Every structure is written in structure tokens, then in C-alpha cells.
Structure 1
Amino acid sequence: MKTAEGELVDIEIQIRNTDNYRKRSLYYWSAMYAEQIVAGESYFELNPCIVINILDFNLIRENEHYHSVFDIRERRCGFQLVGDLEIHYLELNKLSGHPDATGLTTLEEWLIFIKDAANTEKRELIETIKKRNEVIAMAEKILARASADEFARAAYQQRRKWYLDRVSGEKYLIKQGIEQGIKQGIEQGGKIKALDIAGKMLSLSFTDEQISLSTGLSEEEIAALRKE
């Protein structure tokens, strides 16, 4: 995402602390920063990059603040080298309990919405926040619509699967019927031909054994032909 000022912003939401997340977020920043230019382009083209990590676990154990921000500064005097690196950690579990929306900052409103939008016990608080913040109210509508669309897609996929399974089953039965019919036709045609050959061999005084070997007919079938 790119802001009006040209800053590039990457927002990550993570529920588990895995794979050295501090280095991982720094890597995300470095990749985003490096991909802005290619060989031959000027470093002046590089825009500030901001990585925002919304975490459902405690990562920064050196302080109790729910919002920690890191950049590049000179150690003794504290001035910035450049303002191009900015990494935020928003730790949801460090948010203190809020029985109501009194005194909440806009950032806190968003974090509570992210954390508790589906929590029925916090429904009253969420409703109050929505009344105060129309952007959050809009976000919930979009979220609800996306969830409904997802449900509709799942239902459509299920219906489509049922239809395809039914059509496939019908085609399979038809195919099997055709194949069986052809097989039976071949067998019946072969039988008629075998009987015809056997009749001719009988007229030429071939033995039953010779006729059976030549036509595949059983001795009983040949005996029945002799009686005709």
C-alpha cells in the first residue's frame, strides 16, 4: 500500500510468535525497500517503508506498551540517520481492559475492533466504537459482506459439485450401458455366427470335439444342433 506522501506500508497480522519474528519483520522491511529500484536507478528514488505488525502475542518484553516503534538513530545523540525505516509492533494482548469507549484513541478503537469484533461479550463496546468512528463502521459492513460472499461461494461450490457429480454419474451409467450393449451385441452376434459354422461342420461330418474347438460351443449346444 502506498500513502499520498509516497510511503510504502506493509501490514502484517500474526497470531503466533514463530521463526524469530523480530528478524522476520526487519526482513519484510528490507525486501520492500530494496525492490523499489533496479540497477542504474538513483537512490533518491527510494521512499520510506513502514511495516506495521499487529500481533496476538507479546513480542516486545522490554516494555509494557502495546505500541512500540523502531527506526534508525545515532546512539548518543538520538538523531535519525534517515526516516526511511519504521517498524511498528501493535500487541493486542497488552491492551488494557476497556469497559467502555471513554478516552479511547483512534488507534485503540481500531485495535479493539480487530481483536473483539467477533466477541459477543464486547458487542456493546464495538457498537459504541462504530458510532464514534464511521470508518470502522464501514469496515464492519465490508467484513460482513465479505463473509456473506464467502458463504455464498461455498454454497455455490457445493451445489456445483453436486450437479457435476450427478451429471458425471449419469454419463458413467450411460457409458456403461452403451458398453454393455455393445458387448452383448458382439457376444450375441458371435454366438449366431458360431452356431452357423457349427451347423455347416455338422453337415460335413465333423466330430463334436472338432466343432467345439473351432466354434467355442459346448458339447450340449452341439448335441442340440444335431437334433434339429
Structure 2
Amino acid sequence: MAKTNDLLDPKNDYVFFRLFSEEPELLIDLINAVRADQPPITEITLLDARLTPERIQGKRLVLDLRGIDEQGRRYNIEIQVRRFPFWASRAMMYLARLYSEQLDAGNDYQEAQPVIGIHLLDFDLFKEEPGDQDNALWRFDTYDHQHSRSLGHIMELNIVELRKADRLGQLPERLSAWIAYFEHWNEDDVMNNLAHPPIQKARAKLRAMSADEQERYWAESRARALSDEVTMLNAARREGREEGREEGDKHARHQTALAMLQGGQLDVATIARYAGISESEVEELADGRAKH
């Protein structure tokens, strides 16, 4: 299988952000491919699409795309390459924040528009229950399935498990093409057989980015930062477990958070997410006020 080894990985969140923020028509096609059973959107206006050095090197390591379509609905689009605890809580928090920002801007509840999350995951999120291995596309919203009643699709989270979707196949042609792009971007024999025009445009964009020395620098910097964060978090967890093993679960979580605080390189929200405690508890630990 012929491979092009010098191409950047489109699943790198920096590459993903650059690709779709600079080519919004590709983002529209991706959104419509994921939500093929819904009326297609025709335009999207991105929010905060600037990439500053501070944002790229930020501690939180989050590069997501946020946008508004022609109907006023708001989107959060991102890619994740690794599974971490409380991922679902984080995803829903981001959607809730996207919704509440409309009220902060002076709108009343009646004017607030639905928010839609599209998260591409390069890992299997669901694998414990029967049938999990037969489905890679998920949609969660405010819907009562027992009585077939909806609150109006106020919040919707679409999840694509990329690896599982690639294994299963038999998906609509356009979505299958995007999945192949993310999973087989460096395999010429696969990519050459994808006739969907947006995929070929995305492929050309990836080649151009990969040939740019500055783009490679930032993409590789992001990859290193993610790797460093994983190493630091794993070390903190091990230290927290060792110190808190005989003191109970809450103590262990606090010890994990303390170890992360001592590292001095992670913010409160990240520590809270990985330690499994609230941000206020992390702040109390940082101030020495928590009882642990």
C-alpha cells in the first residue's frame, strides 16, 4: 500500500483548524455529510477563527471551530485523537456554553438558537454495550424516546467514531469519503479513488500545508504539547493513586489534582477535568483551603 509519509496528519487539531477555518466550504460539506438526514446548510460564519501563538501554545490545548449557519444555529466542531475521562461532560459543557453565550449577548430565551456539536473521535467511545460495535454514528439531543416528545432540539451532539466507521464501511458515499480522508490521508491508492471534489480540495490543501515549513513547525509543536500533557497527567494520576490508595476515592482525586498543580503547567479547568473534581475544589486546593 503506497504511502506518502511527509504529509501532516489532518487529525492534528492545528491542521484540522487551519484546513477548515481557511476553507469554510469544506466545513459546510463535512457538516452536511455528518447530518445528511437534515436540511443542508449553505453557509457558515466562523467565530473566533484567529490563530495566535498564545492560543496555539495555550495550556488548555483546545482548538475547536465555532460557527453560525444561515439560520442562526451555532456549531461546535472539533476532532479528538485520544480518549480521556469525563469526555462526555466536557462536550456537553461546551455546547451549554455556546448556548448561554447567546443570552450573554443580550438575547432573550425566545431568540436563542439551537446549538449543534460535531465531534470526530479517532477512538472508540462506545464499546461496552451490545450493539456498540455495529454503530459509529451517534446523535444525542433533548428528546424523550419513551413518549416521542422533543424540547425543540435545543442542544444536539453528533459523534463520529472514525476508526469504527472506517471498519464498518457501508456509510453514505460523502461521509465515507471524509472518513477515508481522516483515516487514510497518506495512502495514495485510497485517496486517488475518492472522487468527491471537496476531498480532493482538502487533499490539495493538506499537501500545501505539509510543504510549508512554518505550518509543519506549528503542527509538530501541537503534537508534542499533547504528548507532554498526556505524560504529565499520567504521572500525576499515578502519584495521586499511590498517595491516596488507602484514604478513599475523594482523597485520591485530590492528590491527583495536587500533583497536577505542583507541575505548574495546567490550568484549573484541565486539572478539574482529569482529576474528576470541580473547578472550585481545584481552586481551594491551590489556595490550601480544601480538606483533603
The TM-score with structure 1 as length reference comes to 0.58
User: Distance between the aligned counterparts of 1:39 and 1:153, measured in 2?
Assistant: 37
Q: Does 1:72 pair with 2:142?
A: yes
Output the CA distance in 1 between the equivalents of 2:110 and 2:206.
39
Residue 133 in 1 paired to residue 199 in 2?
A: no
| Distance across 2 between alignment mates of 1:151 and 1:38 | 37
Structure with the largest fraction of helix: 1
* Cross-structure match for 1:180: none
Q: How far apart, CA to CA, are the structure 2 residues paired with 1:9 and 1:78?
A: 25
Structure 1 unmatched runs, 5+:
155-228
Q: Give the root-mean-square deviation of aligned CA atoms.
A: 2.4
SS at match of 1:145: helix
Alignment correspondent of 2:125: 59
CA-CA distance at 1:39 after TM superposition:
7.3
Please tell me whether the aligned partners of residues 99 and 115 of structure 2 are also in contact (alpha carbons under 8 angstroms).
yes
Q: 2:163 touches 2:183 (CA, 8 Å); kept in 1?
A: no
Give yes or no for the alignment of 1:117 onto 2:180. no
Aligned residue identity for 1:70: F
Residues 76 and 96 of structure 1: CA distance in aligned 2, closer, same or farther (over 3 Å): same
Counterpart of 1:142? 205
Shift of 1:150: 3.5
Q: Secondary structure at 2:190's aligned position in 1?
A: helix
Aligned AA (1:69): R
Q: Is the 8 A contact 2:80 2:121 kept in 1?
A: yes
Aligned amino acid, residue 67 of structure 1: L
Match of 2:85 in 1: 19
Rounded to whole Å, the distance in 2 between the matches of 1:149 and 1:70 is 39
Please say which structure displays the higher CA radius of gyration.
1
Distance 1:128 1:103, change over 3 A: farther
Percent identity over the alignment is 27
Q: Give a deviation string over 1:135-158, Cα, whole Å, max 9, x none.
A: 11111111221222235785xxxx
1:104 Cα deviation after fit: 4.9
C-alpha displacement at 1:97, in angstroms? Answer: 4.0
**Residue 113 (structure 2) pairs with residue 43 (structure 1):** no
The alignment partner of 1:58 has SS state of: coil
